[in-house]
Amino acid sequence: MNIALIAHDSKKELMVQFCIAYCGILSRHTLCATGVTGKLVAEATGLEIQRFLGGAQGGDQQIAARIAFNEVDMLIFLRDPQNPKPHEPNDINLLRLCDMHNIPVATNIATGEVLIHGLERGDLDWRNIVKS
């Protein structure tokens, strides 16, 4: 499965810890991420991650385009709803695209863990049928 990772600035360390905890599961899938998030996760875990531009430079739009072309199967987007910064990814557009294309999305650590455990059990294998 193709998994996209995005994290607001205040959630980047949480994303790194999440990916360390679930490195074994994530290593069996294709990962992509926005610039700094991808760099931090790759450095901490050794996972191979296709890195797009940073959020301020349009990395979230690059991931949105992949979602629109059905090239992403799951999005883990750890966001900070209390302190969003102007340069951070636009969550409304990403969430709308995920809804339109039936992409499972986690916006916090709790839903991230639910999705990652579902991924491990095979609960998301239906995405392979949708993509066909």
pLDDT at residue 105 greater than cutoff 70:
yes
Q: How confident is the model at residue 7 (pLDDT cuts 50, 70, 90)?
A: very high
Chain center to CA of 83: 20
14 or 130: which carries more pLDDT confidence? 14
What are the tokens at 69? 């072309």
**pLDDT for 45-99, tens place per residue?**
999 999 999 887 899 999 999 999 999 999 999 998 887 666 656 688 899 999 9
Catalytic residue annotation: 60
Task: Report the pLDDT value the prediction gives residue 101, as an integer from 0 to 100.
Answer: 94
Q: At what angle do helices 59-68 and 91-100 cross, to 10 degrees?
A: 10
What are the tokens at 5? 């990772």
CATH, residue 103: 3.40.50.1380
Q: Which residue stretches of the chain are H helix?
A: 12-21, 23-26, 35-45, 59-68, 91-100, 109-121, 126-131
Buried b (16+ CB within 10 A) or exposed e, 65-74: ebbeeeebbb
Task: Report the pLDDT value the prediction gives residue 86, as an integer from 0 to 100.
Answer: 65
Task: Report the pLDDT value the prediction gives residue 83, as an integer from 0 to 100.
Answer: 77
Task: Report the pLDDT value the prediction gives residue 69, as an integer from 0 to 100.
Answer: 94
Q: What domain count does the chain have?
A: 1
- In the chain, the percentage of residues whose pLDDT exceeds 90 is 80
φ and ψ at 105, to 5 degrees? Answer: -135, 140
Q: How far apart are CA 124 and CA 129, in angstroms?
A: 10
Q: How far apart are CA 46 and CA 124, in angstroms?
A: 25
Q: Which of 30-39, 40-49, 89-98 has the lowest mean pLDDT?
A: 89-98
Q: Give the residue numbers spanning the domain of 119.
A: 2-131
What are the tokens at 66? 């992949």
